[in-house]
Amino acid sequence: MDNKVSIVIKLVRSNKKIVLGAHPSSGINSTGVLERVRKFVPFRNWLEKLDDELVEQKGSDGLSLSEVLVQSVDEFASNKIGFRGGSVSILFIIRKTGSETGLTSHQDDAYVVLTSQPRIPVPDFHMLELPAGMLDGSGNFCGKAAEEIHEELGLKIDPSKLIDLTELAIGKHDSQPNQIFGKKLGFYPSSGGSDEFVRLLAYEETMDHKDILSLENKLGGLIEHGEKIVLRLVKIKDLWKSTVDMKATSSLYLWDIYQSKKKN
């Protein structure tokens, strides 16, 4: 018999029912705690966005979410601090064989490869982002980036040809503290609530035009790990308006600085 504490939430637009349950290890033994979670404004906002995504998705291959398990609830006056660790993202630029290089993004006719995948915390079932992944603690940023490119895009790259855009801005991660940033590992997207830092890298590749176009809608990711990734191509000059991924817009800005510095 299942004695798990839970409540049922009915979504308004999709009429779907979501079970909000207590994880066995959570220590939650009453529905009162779950009711406070349900009434918590950020969670309500998340449910509304999830409801919209469920209504708007099309076809029989859509996602289904039936249960949310609460692992812990910390009810403090201040925000909880979460620990996530480091990650790496790659601005993967592909241009036609023989085309001009060394251009800033608004002059360039190259493509950028984005991944489209479900991001439940947002929630967005087709979130467009740069290829990215969590670091393993080894400090080998370029090696991890090459691994992510292979897993998500199915392409093998030379890690030594990766361009560390973060180093361009704040210096090497193993260097002495600099005057402005001290000794930082990367950029911090949400330092008020998480320790996560991001290393922004870039990579340039040349291909025949037909091979570039063959990447559009290609399936990527590790299926056995539950990843559902579809590749998308956008012109680098349009990247700034093609995604809400902050890694992409930040990388684009640093890429243009990198290209300008090469000319000087």
3-state secondary structure of 22: strand
CB 141 within 8 A of CB 199: yes
Q: Give the containing element (helix H, strand E) for 18.
A: strand 17-22
pLDDT at 180: 44
Q: Where in the chain is the domain with CATH 3.90.79.10?
A: 86-263
DSSP string, 161-218: G-EEHHHHHH--TTSPPBTTTBS--SB-S-TTTB--EEEEEEEEEEE-HHHHHTTTT-
pLDDT at 173: 55
Distance CA 250, CA 105 (A): 13
Rounded to the nearest 5 percent, the helix, strand and coil shares of the chain are 30, 25, 45
Q: What is the pLDDT along the chain (264 residues), one digit of tens a residue?
A: 456 899 999 999 999 999 999 998 888 888 998 998 898 877 888 898 888 888 888 666 778 888 999 888 876 554 444 456 788 899 999 999 888 888 888 888 899 999 998 898 888 999 999 998 887 666 677 777 888 888 888 888 888 899 999 988 887 655 444 444 455 678 988 887 777 889 999 999 999 999 999 989 888 766 665 667 899 999 999 999 999 999 999 999 999 999 998 877
Distance CA 159, CA 216 (A): 24
The CATH architecture that domain 86-263 belongs to is Alpha-Beta Complex (3.90)
Residue 72 token pair: 């812990």
Query: Pairing mode, if any, of strands 111-119 and 86-96?
Result: antiparallel
Distance CA 187, CA 57 (A): 33
Q: State in Å, rounded, how far the first CA of the chain is from the last one.
A: 72
Between the CA of residue 195 and those of 4, 79, 121, 175, 191, what are the distances in Å?
32, 14, 17, 20, 6
